[in-house]
Amino acid sequence: MHVLVTGATGFVGGRLAPALLEGGHEVTVLVRDATEYDAPAGVRVIEGDLLAPESLPPAFAVDGDPVDAAYYLVHSMEGGPGYAARDRDCARHFAAAASAAGVPRVVYLGGLGEDRDELSEHLRSRREVERLLAEGTYALTTLRAAIVIGAGSASFEVIRGLATRLPVMITPKWVDTRCQPIAVGDVVAYLVGVLDEPATAGETFEIGGPEVLTYAEILRRTRRQLGQQLRIVRVPVLSPRLSAMWLRLVTDVDPFLARSLVEGMRNPVVVEDTRIREYVPIDGTPFDLAVARALDESRPAGDEPYRIGVTNERADGSGGSVDAADSDLANSDGSPNGMGSSR
Q: What is the CATH number of the domain that holds 89?
A: 3.40.50.720
In a domain, 234, yes or no: no
Give the pLDDT score at 170.
63
Task: Label residue 320 by pLDDT band (50, 70, 90).
Answer: very low
In a domain, 173, yes or no: no
Give the pLDDT score at 132.
97
Q: Are 161 and 196 in contact (CB under 8 A)?
A: no
Q: Is 234 a residue whose pLDDT tops 50? A: yes
Q: Look over the chain and give the mean of its residue pLDDT values, rounded to a whole number.
A: 81
The top-scoring range by mean pLDDT among 233-237, 275-279, 311-315 is 275-279
φ, ψ at 202 (rounded to 5°): 80, 10
- Which pTM does this prediction carry? 0.82
Q: Mean pLDDT, to the nearest integer, of 177-201?
A: 96
Q: Is 309 a residue whose pLDDT tops 60? A: no
Sign of the Cα pseudo-torsion (311, 177, 16, 158, in order): negative
% residues pLDDT > 70 (the chain)? 71
Integer CA distances (angstroms), 131 to 110, 126, 165, 223, in order: 11, 9, 39, 38
Q: Is 180 a residue whose pLDDT tops 80? A: yes
Task: Label residue 229 by pLDDT band (50, 70, 90).
Answer: confident
Task: Label residue 189 by pLDDT band (50, 70, 90).
Answer: very high
In a domain, 55, yes or no: yes
The top-scoring range by mean pLDDT among 17-31, 121-135, 213-227 is 17-31
Give the pLDDT score at 336.
28
Give the pLDDT score at 30.
97
In a domain, 31, yes or no: yes
Task: Label residue 61 by pLDDT band (50, 70, 90).
Answer: very high
In a domain, 124, yes or no: yes
Range of the domain at 51: 2-148+182-206
Task: Label residue 33 by pLDDT band (50, 70, 90).
Answer: very high
Give the pLDDT score at 76.
64
Q: Mean pLDDT, to the nearest integer, of 294-301?
A: 77
Q: pLDDT (tens digit, 9 = 90+) per residue, 119-161?
A: 667 778 888 999 999 999 999 999 999 999 999 888 888 788 7
Q: Is 165 a residue whose pLDDT tops 60? A: yes
Give the pLDDT score at 160.
81
Q: How many domains does the chain have?
A: 1
Q: Mean pLDDT, to the nearest integer, of 302-311?
A: 49
Residue with more model confidence, 20 or 336: 20
In a domain, 120, yes or no: yes
Q: Is 23 a residue whose pLDDT tops 80? A: yes
β-sheet with 204-206: strand ranges across: 44-47, 26-31, 2-6, 69-72, 105-111, 139-145, 204-206
Q: Is 20 a residue whose pLDDT tops 70? A: yes
In a domain, 46, yes or no: yes
In a domain, 168, yes or no: no
Q: Is 339 a residue whose pLDDT tops 70? A: no
